[in-house]
Amino acid sequence: MIEIFDGHNDSVHRLLEYRPDGIDFLTRSSGGHLDLPRAVDGGLTGGLFAMFVHPEQRPMDNLTVTKTGYKVRLADALDASYARRKTKEMLDALKRLEARADRKVRIATSVEEIKAANDSGSFAIVMHMEGADAIDADLVELEKLYYRGLRSLGLVWSRPNIFGHGVPFGWPGSPDTGPGLTDAGRDLVKACNRLRIMIDVSHLNEKGFWDVARLSDAPLVATHSCAHAICASTRNLTDRQLDAIRASDGVVGVNFSVKCVRPDAQDDADTPLHMLARHVQYLVDRIGIERVAIGSDFDGATIPAAVKDASGLQNVIASLRASGFEEDAIRKIAFDNWMRVFQLTW
């Protein structure tokens, strides 16, 4: 079985440690996409666990559907104190999960710790923030989060914050949807470089992307995105962005979200895996086999029914084989490429 490291999931908000009605990650669940038994079934040995803050009230009527596509109104900015409190709750939840897991789950802050966890049969969690809404402009909170184990940060989700502007969801559309990073955002990039926190450009609009590309001394990374040339979602990466990722020796984690995979962007789970493999092939052809990885978006999106959940990850591997990928290339996509970019960044 091919071992897999996943660049993105949204499972933290479903954990028992985070909410009373949540899932026990250590036991098999019938809901959602990810728990430890299903990870073991699918060969998943670890991943970036996103701490994403939902708004206090979910917006209503923010979706507009037309004859030619759809667009979602850009979400409102979060209150910083609320975002800080919720982020702390999620970080504490991951720490509590590790504490009760009897070494079945370990939080890792280096490639060596990821590999040591895997060698001992433990599942490796790398802490990631999806949106820097909880971080203050003087970046004191960033330092605190780093020392508690944060190693990966998406500057924005699809909403604005004091650092930059997220790209609103839409199809067909361009990721060039607004202004670039703020002065605080540019300082945040430099601080992440200093601390060696990986910067995730997923959900960032195009001008913000180019600001990161100009300022950062680390590889450019999109933890969960696909090719805009195949699916013209605002969330996907243009060829020019992909070329910049290649030039920086970065990585793209291929998103399983069917709305980013399908050329028609339909929210349809009956999406064949050859469509996902097509994105992998396109990205490999554009940026090289060492720069393409997996970024499932488990528990954050509709994924192909042929995968279903983490237990079905080997079906993705089988689809890559059927598309002509050899075993060495598959191992790079499944695991090695994340370790390579972590090593370069951390």
- pLDDT tens figures, 301-312: 999 999 999 999
Q: Which residues of 68-107 are buried (b: 16+ CB within 10 A; e: fewer)?
A: eebbeebbebbebeebbebbbbbbebbeebbeebeebbbb
Q: What is the dotted CATH code of the domain comprising 4-345?
A: 3.20.20.140
C-alpha pair distances (Å), 106 with each of 4, 27, 121, 194? 16, 16, 10, 25
Amino acid identity, position 193: N
Q: What is the mean pLDDT of the chain?
A: 96
Give the per-residue pLDDT at 74: 86
Exposed, middle or buried, 327 (CB in 10 Å: 0-12/13-18/19+)?
exposed
Mean pLDDT of the region 189-217: 98
Q: What is the pLDDT of residue 73?
A: 87
Separation between Cα atoms, residue 295 and residue 254, nearest integer Å? 5
What pLDDT sits at residue 57?
74
Angle at 114 between CA 109 and CA 118, to 5 degrees: 155
What is the per-residue pLDDT for 65?
84
The domain locations on the chain are 4-345
Q: How high is the pLDDT of residue 56?
A: 81
Number of helices and strands in the chain (H, E): 12, 12
Q: What radius of gyration do the chain's Cα atoms show?
A: 18
pLDDT (average), residues 109-136? 97
175 within 8 A of 235, measured Cβ to Cβ: yes
| pLDDT greater than 90 at residue 61 | no
Angle at 286 between CA 280 and CA 291, to 5 degrees: 65
Q: What average pLDDT does range 198-216 have in this prediction? A: 98
pLDDT at 60: 60
